[in-house]
Amino acid sequence: MGLHISTIIDGLYFFQIALHAKKGCCKTYSATQNVDYHCTLFQTEHKMSIEEVCRKYQTDIVQGLTNAKAAEYLIRDGPNALTPPPTTPEWVKFCRQLFGGFSVLLWTGAILCFLAYAIQASRSARSHMFDRLSLCLQLYLGIVLTAVVVITGCFSYFQEAKSSKIMESFKNMVPQQALVIREGEKVQINAEEVVGGDLVEVKGGDRIPADIRVVSAHGCKVDNSSLTGESEPQSRSPDCTHDNPLETRNIAFFSTNCVEGTARGIVICTGDNTVMGRIATLTSGLETGKTPIAKEIEHFIHIITGVAVFLGLTFFILAIVLGYSWLEAVIFLIGIIVANVPEGLLATVTVCLTLTAKRMAKKNCLVKNLEAVETLGSTSTICSDKTGTLTQNRMTVAHMWFDNQIHEADTTEDQSGASFDKSSITWISLARVAALCNRAQFKAGQDQLPILKRDVAGDASESALLKCIELSCGSVRAMRDRNKKVAEIPFNSTNKYQLSVHETEDLNDNRYLLVMKGAPERVLECCSTILVQGKEQPLDEELKEAFQNAYMELGGLGERVLGFCHVLLPEDQYPKGFAFDTDDVNFQTKDLCFVGLMSMIDPPRAAVPDAVGKCRSAGIKVIMVTGDHPITAKAIAKGVGIISEGNETVEDIAARLNIPVSQVNPRDAKACVCHGTDLKDLSQDQMDDILRNHTEIVFARTSPQQKLIIVEGCQRLGAIVAVTGDGVNDSPALKKADIGVAMGISGSDVSKQAADMILLDDNFASIVTGVEEGRLIFDNLKKSIAYTLTSNIPEITPFLLFIIVNIPLPLGTITILCIDLGTDMVPAISLAYEAAESDIMKRQPRNPFRDKLVNERLISIAYGQIVTAGFALGGFFAYFVILAENGFLPTTLVGIRLNWDDRSCNDLEDTYGQQWTYEQRKIVEFTCHTAFFVSIVVVQWADVIICKTRRNSVFQQGMRNKILIFGLFEETALAAFLSYCPGMDVALRMYPLKPSWWFCAFPYSFLIFVYDEVRKLLIRRNPGGWVERETYY
Amino acid sequence: MASTEDKAAKQESATGWKDSFYNPRTGEVLGRTGSSWALILLFYLVFYCFLAGMFALTMWVLLLTLDDYVPKYRDRVPYPGLVIRPNSLDLSFNKSDPLKYVQYVKHLESFLQRYNDSQQDKNDDCPPGEYFLQDDTEDMSKKACLFKRGFLSLCSGLSDTNFGYSEGKPCVLLKMNRIIGLKPRGDPYINCTVKRDTPIQMQYFPSEGRIDKKYFPYYGKKAHESYVQPLVAVELLLTKDDYNKELPVECRVEGSDLRNNDERDKFLGRVTFRVTVVE
């Protein structure tokens, strides 16, 4: 225990090193904070006498503070609560959404639009040539662009706000109460109102309201696990036992729990000044890096922005060189920016992540930060807690030894395991001893609950025994009622046993029954006989050896073993009414009859071995980090498969070959159980060596600070690390990890705040489902982006040809927005629902440096191949068809642009000699835009089916994605609506198409489908071949 | 971790970006070896050639479906637009400075070349007042009705080569757009008004600005090679009071079913232009 606490201080220096090693966060962590921290840590109250403490706080040991004094202190020190970490103001968050990502580009576009409008408007005041509608087009586009940015910004903002609201719900917990003595009266007050100098009283089950100096205690034990990670309760007493405030017994810490007994103490620190508060403040100073998916998206935005700006400026200059007016050039610039930016993409990504987060929440993974969804998918190492995460976090009787035989008890959560022979008389005796010599009892009002779910008042092993007996023999309470307790000696560390004396069930039998349980070797010392098959036999050497073997075996399983014995006291010596004196023992405690052994363990959760297996096949290394004893840790590790069958540690090899540990080549051992004390002495290289060369690692007896070292070590080796933790001291490790996973049930608030994800059921298996979802979403986002990007480039090609070949514009800016924000949205989102192509849990985790979300192959596929094949050509074909069928053959079109866009030219001649007014030909042009748009929709049908899979054929994958099918219909219906709805000609300048024009793009749609099927076939046929290397994204 | 990663990344990028152009160790140019470049370029060449072929094929199919004489759809041009010559909606000149109006005169002169007698004598003098309907012949070619410059009288440029511009009484020619198969009902004529309180005198050629039905229908450029549109000339008989003022003139096609009041298309059966004559 001492070790764990002293490492906190080590850890504090460690935090600082960690902090300074991180870029950019040194600022948030000021030097003054350091000093402050140490001053408080080295507080001296524990070394003062109680009177000195009272004097310091002007309080009284009996009367407590006066109300006036308390009120004064409350004003001076503030409420006794942790300051929540500074939150970003809502408007800043909103602005970040509004001006981040692609928004800047779109804002530029919108401003240029307004500028162009203003200039045109001022010109039209002088000339009457511009009619109102076309003048408004720029203004209109500017408004639409602004609306797009604002709407997508709002959307993302609300999505984010939603997920942070989930966190709010954790904060609003029932206020803690504290019992304080003020002016001599005991008052129950809100824990927030406790001030320094208050005299408080705590009893078993209470939470310590502040850091207190104990002045008196009766069997008081506190559970410091949330502070130190150590689960064994520690006793508290008024005596100063150590110079270090963290190790002395006379201080109890804020937010730890009092397990049993009562204590009275003077509050010495409140709120942020408490040890817990200090750690919480430190953690909030740690800044975490960007999540992998955020980096990926940023990388992607950089590429797209670069391309957009480059193309935009190139065309701007080109346009000027080609003799366009600069106003026209600005309009081209806007068009190219709008065409290049996938406006709907960020919203799509947010929706995809939200959908996954929702799906994960259903599976008990609550994601605080949307982007963490994907981080889990790229995780390559999981550092997991043992207690509660891998195990059920309740002691359970696992084995028994009686009748010279080891029996296995059922440890599963749902009692589905094997049972043993309960008919033996020895078992009945054993059960009776275990039930009677036991102070644990069920809390009231839980009769309808299953036995295993009931709350028990009492320590962990006794609860385990209670539940075990209740399960196999029925009501323990009834048994205790029938066997009234007459006397009892509670467990203490000198005796190492507990005994009690009861009346017997048989009313005619006036003898007393003495029952005892305790450390097996101590219990055995008290015995001279042993119960075998219901018969008392003398305890001979043979049986003693059998006992020793059983004890060793159970101990080797990492279980806590207890021995049980009993004796019926002879009536002549102890008649009815005999006064048993437990202080000065006046009765027989020797020559008892040994009944059996029972061993307990915190058993692994049922789903964990399977989940660990899945992790292993998914290439994820699972490292167990626990404060427990190495033997127990190893036993559980073996039980859940963290150390897989057949793999040996160095110690195992040594034992097998019967050679000293030092002679074993560490390389031969795949597994490793590392002791916390050893870890302290390891250099960085040695640490790396351990992490690199062992696939199966268990760290036992580690403190939460060492957990941070382990996390760092893993990250140094390039792993993306997920860390689970529940204690306050885990929070630095949780923050440090790429994804921190806090426990929803057992976790402390601070750890939940530091974590990115919360496991609502504390179950390790939930992490694995999370990993699966995270990997799936990465794959599906790739598909979604591939899909969105393919419709993006064909939106630029019209401008290209418009400027270079001088044909009428084939696709307008408004239509581009209709594609990006209208028809493309639902299909792109539907790809998030796509099922995995193969078992994604069978492949290695993605390498964040190599496997990018958007790589050159995706770009090449999207831009180079599918696009040109389907979209551009399909759209242009439709464009040429419409113009040709209306009289403008392609030969006439080339070079026609100047006249075409000249408002004063109202007798433009087509190929057939007809003459067109400006408005008449513009209607044809806008019909072409509509047709181009519809063609893109038609080709997008094929594209979304193509993007469904990256390797499999769509015929293998099937069309089971209902959302995708809905998307196909929605997209088509929307396109038809935009084309045929009356009024669209005015609103969006989209015109009804003749039915035959819908079919223009069909051959191209079919072509890209066939092309891509062939490509995927080649990828499947030639794994690693040229096609795969060049085109698999 | 962050810092070590950054350092590694920095080192990598320092040597990395030079290597990304040319890596002497692997012989890679822009991340690819020569053969790799060749292969990918070959692929794209073949791929794009194939696409070009495919596009050409579909375009060829498209052209096969088209008629040489009449476009497939004519519903986008149901009514003709009205345009003026000289081709400017803002006529402004100094009547005593020939340099200011010579461009208009030249323009009118060149526009009327097709209406010269030498050209029009080849065309038929068809009966007035009725459509000049012609059945399909073997070579599909159609005859055209003659329209001589002389019909425009004072505005023909024959008697007054300055089309009245030198006298401050400018001529403006109006023509309806050619539309295949258009047969206006009623008796279409052109009527011009000045959008102000006091009207000005105008003279129309042919008289009353009539457009004879015999010039309809039009059979298309290929079949109706020698077709000329009927013209209407308006001479604005401006007086001294009208000089130095901007006169907005609106001309409409009246007396027929041809639209002249479309909200959005300001040139459908009507045209508005401004005339400013400076003394």
**Nearest CA-CA partner of A997 in A935, A940, A939, A941:** A935
Would you call B175 helix, strand, or coil by DSSP?
Answer: strand
The distance of B2 to chain A (nearest Cα, Å) reads 6
Are B80 and A915 in contact by the 8 Å Cβ rule? The answer is yes
DSSP B210: B
> If you average pLDDT over residues A177-198, what whole number do you get?
86
Are B168 and B236 in contact by the 8 Å Cβ rule? The answer is no
What's the number of CA atoms in the CB half-sphere (13 Å) around residue B263? 3
Q: Residue A289 and residue B2: Cβ atoms within 8 Å?
A: yes
Q: Which tokens hold the place of A96?
A: 């970040």
Please, which pLDDT band fits residue A683 given cuts at 50, 70 and 90? confident
Q: Residue B83 and residue A129: Cβ atoms within 8 Å?
A: no
The distance of B279 to chain A (nearest Cα, Å) reads 24
Round to whole Å and give the CA distance between A346 and A820. Answer: 11
Which of A21, A873, A923 lies at the smallest CB-CB distance from B76? A923
DSSP A811: S
Q: Which residues in chain B have Cβ-Cβ distances shorter than 8 Å to A914?
A: 71, 74, 77, 177-180, 218, 220
The distance of A974 to chain B (nearest Cα, Å) reads 25
Q: B33 versus B123: which is more confidently predicted? A: B123
The distance of A165 to chain B (nearest Cα, Å) reads 30
Summarised one tens digit per residue, pLDDT across range A400-456 is 998 888 888 877 766 666 667 777 888 888 999 999 988 888 887 787 888 888 888
> If you average pLDDT over residues A620-631, what whole number do you get?
87
Are B132 and B145 in contact by the 8 Å Cβ rule? The answer is yes
Q: Residue B77 and residue A913: Cβ atoms within 8 Å?
A: no
Q: Residue B264 and residue A133: Cβ atoms within 8 Å?
A: yes
The distance of B69 to chain A (nearest Cα, Å) reads 7
Please, which pLDDT band fits residue B16 given cuts at 50, 70 and 90? low
Which of B39, B62, B180 lies at the smallest CB-CB distance from A914? B180
Q: What is the DSSP string of A559-597?
A: -EEEEEEEEEEPTTTS-TT----TTTT-S--SSEEEEEE
ipTM for the predicted complex comes to 0.90
For the four alpha carbons of A273, A279, A282 and A287, in that order, the dihedral sign comes to: negative
Q: Which residues in chain A have Cβ-Cβ distances shorter than 8 Å to B86?
A: none
Round to whole Å and give the CA distance between A677 and B146. Answer: 113
> If you average pLDDT over residues A586-594, what whole number do you get?
88
Which of A289, A887, A918 lies at the smallest CB-CB distance from B71? A887
In single-letter form, the type of residue at position A713 comes to: G
**Nearest CA-CA partner of A140 in A165, A166, A120:** A120
pLDDT at A656 (0 to 100)? 85
Q: Which residues in chain B have Cβ-Cβ distances shorter than 8 Å to A22?
A: 2-3
Q: Which residues in chain B have Cβ-Cβ distances shorter than 8 Å to A129?
A: 89
Q: Residue B88 and residue A716: Cβ atoms within 8 Å?
A: no
- Please say if the pLDDT value at position A136 is more than 80: no
- Hey, of B50, B72, B76, B231, which one would you mutate to test binding to chain A, going by the most A CBs within 10 A of its CB? B76
Round to whole Å and give the CA distance between A677 and A679. Answer: 5
pLDDT at A708 (0 to 100)? 81
Q: Which residues in chain A have Cβ-Cβ distances shorter than 8 Å to B76?
A: 886, 920, 923-924, 927
The distance of B19 to chain A (nearest Cα, Å) reads 17
- Hey, of A14, A917, A1005, which one would you mutate to test binding to chain B, going by the most B CBs within 10 A of its CB? A917
Q: Which residues in chain A have Cβ-Cβ distances shorter than 8 Å to B80?
A: 915
Q: Residue B1 and residue A715: Cβ atoms within 8 Å?
A: yes
Are A275 and A255 in contact by the 8 Å Cβ rule? The answer is no
Positions of A marked catalytic: 385
- Which chain A residue has its CA at the smallest distance from B2's CA? A22
Are A651 and A556 in contact by the 8 Å Cβ rule? The answer is no
In single-letter form, the type of residue at position A137 comes to: L
Please, which pLDDT band fits residue A914 given cuts at 50, 70 and 90? very high
Q: Which tokens hold the place of A310?
A: 């480059």
pLDDT at B231 (0 to 100)? 93
Are B188 and B211 in contact by the 8 Å Cβ rule? The answer is yes
Alpha-carbon distances of A258 from A74, A217, A252, A395, A941, rounded to whole Å:
25, 11, 9, 19, 64
Q: Residue A289 and residue B83: Cβ atoms within 8 Å?
A: no
- Hey, of A912, A915, A993, which one would you mutate to test binding to chain B, going by the most B CBs within 10 A of its CB? A912
DSSP A83: P
Are A152 and A346 in contact by the 8 Å Cβ rule? The answer is yes
Least-confidence region, from A630-639, A730-739, B126-135: A730-739
Q: Which tokens hold the place of A25?
A: 């966060």
Q: Which tokens hold the place of A216?
A: 């008196």
Q: Residue B265 and residue A917: Cβ atoms within 8 Å?
A: yes
Please, which pLDDT band fits residue A26 given cuts at 50, 70 and 90? very low
- Which chain A residue has its CA at the smallest distance from B39's CA? A1026
- Most confidently predicted of A338-342, A508-512, A676-680, B72-76: B72-76
Round to whole Å and give the CA distance between A470 and A477. Answer: 9
Would you call A330 helix, strand, or coil by DSSP?
Answer: helix
Are A779 and A853 in contact by the 8 Å Cβ rule? The answer is no
Least-confidence region, from A18-22, A474-478, B248-252: A18-22
pLDDT at A970 (0 to 100)? 94
**Nearest CA-CA partner of A461 in A634, A258, A601:** A601
Q: Which residues in chain A have Cβ-Cβ distances shorter than 8 Å to B226?
A: none
Q: A867 versus A642: which is more confidently predicted? A: A642
Q: A257 versus A722: which is more confidently predicted? A: A722
- Please say if the pLDDT value at position A582 is more than 90: no
Which of B3, B55, B224 lies at the smallest CB-CB distance from A23? B3
- Most confidently predicted of A56-70, A295-309, A632-646, A969-983: A969-983
> If you average pLDDT over residues A904-910, what whole number do you get?
90
E strand residue ranges, B33-117: 82-85, 90-94
pLDDT at A231 (0 to 100)? 58
Please, which pLDDT band fits residue B9 given cuts at 50, 70 and 90? very low
> If you average pLDDT over residues A922-927, what whole number do you get?
93
Q: Residue B220 and residue A924: Cβ atoms within 8 Å?
A: no
Q: Residue B221 and residue A913: Cβ atoms within 8 Å?
A: yes
Summarised one tens digit per residue, pLDDT across range A768-796 is 888 888 899 888 988 888 888 887 777 77
Q: Residue B2 and residue A22: Cβ atoms within 8 Å?
A: yes
The residue with tokens 């268990």 is A698
Round to whole Å and give the CA distance between A828 and A350. Answer: 12
Q: Residue B71 and residue A886: Cβ atoms within 8 Å?
A: yes
Report the CATH superfamily, name and number, of domain B82-278: Na, k-atpase alpha subunit. (2.60.40.1660)
The distance of A917 to chain B (nearest Cα, Å) reads 6
Are A927 and A767 in contact by the 8 Å Cβ rule? The answer is no
Q: Residue A912 and residue B2: Cβ atoms within 8 Å?
A: no
pLDDT at A564 (0 to 100)? 93
Least-confidence region, from A69-83, A225-239, B228-242: A225-239
Please, which pLDDT band fits residue A883 given cuts at 50, 70 and 90? very high
Q: Which residues in chain A have Cβ-Cβ distances shorter than 8 Å to B222?
A: 912-913
Are A163 and A368 in contact by the 8 Å Cβ rule? The answer is yes
* Prior bond of A238 cis (ω within 30°): no
Round to whole Å and give the CA distance between A202 and A181. Answer: 11
Which of B40, B44, B267 lies at the smallest CB-CB distance from A918? B267
pLDDT at B254 (0 to 100)? 92
Q: Which residues in chain B have Cβ-Cβ distances shorter than 8 Å to A1014?
A: none
Please, which pLDDT band fits residue A284 given cuts at 50, 70 and 90? low
Q: Residue A886 and residue B55: Cβ atoms within 8 Å?
A: no
Q: Which residues in chain B have Cβ-Cβ distances shorter than 8 Å to A920?
A: 76-77, 81, 265, 268
CB A61: neighbour CB atoms within 10 A?
Answer: 15
Which of A712, A909, A994 lies at the smallest CB-CB distance from B1? A712
- Please say if the pLDDT value at position A169 is more than 60: no
Above pLDDT 90, what percent of chain A?
Answer: 14
Are A177 and A207 in contact by the 8 Å Cβ rule? The answer is no
pLDDT at B192 (0 to 100)? 93
- Hey, of A920, A926, A1004, which one would you mutate to test binding to chain B, going by the most B CBs within 10 A of its CB? A920
Q: Residue B73 and residue A881: Cβ atoms within 8 Å?
A: no
The residue with tokens 């295993």 is A452
Q: Which residues in chain A have Cβ-Cβ distances shorter than 8 Å to B48?
A: 868
Greatest pairwise CA separation for chain B in angstroms:
97
> If you average pLDDT over residues A272-300, what whole number do you get?
75
Mean pLDDT across chain A, nearest whole number? 82
**Nearest CA-CA partner of A46 in A244, A270, A227, A279:** A244
Alpha-carbon distances of B183 from A318, A511, A895, A942, B104, rounded to whole Å:
46, 129, 32, 46, 31
Summarised one tens digit per residue, pLDDT across range B66-94 is 998 999 999 989 999 999 989 888 889 99
pLDDT at A361 (0 to 100)? 84
CB burial of B15-47 (b: ≥16 within 10 Å; e: otherwise) equals: eeeeeeeebeeeebeeebeeeeeeeeeebeeee
State CA B29 to chain mean position distance.
Answer: 52
For the four alpha carbons of A186, A190, A193 and A194, in that order, the dihedral sign comes to: positive
**Nearest CA-CA partner of A756 in A379, A295, A380, A387:** A379
CB B98: neighbour CB atoms within 10 A?
Answer: 13
Annotated domain spans of chain B: 4-64, 82-278
Q: Residue B55 and residue A876: Cβ atoms within 8 Å?
A: yes
What's the number of CA atoms in the CB half-sphere (13 Å) around residue A133? 12
Which of B3, B47, B178 lies at the smallest CB-CB distance from A865? B47
The distance of B139 to chain A (nearest Cα, Å) reads 17
In single-letter form, the type of residue at position A123 comes to: R
Are A216 and A264 in contact by the 8 Å Cβ rule? The answer is yes
> If you average pLDDT over residues A171-181, what whole number do you get?
69
pLDDT at A85 (0 to 100)? 66
Q: Which tokens hold the place of A596?
A: 């059996």
The residue with tokens 């008196």 is A216
Round to whole Å and give the CA distance between B93 and B108. Answer: 15
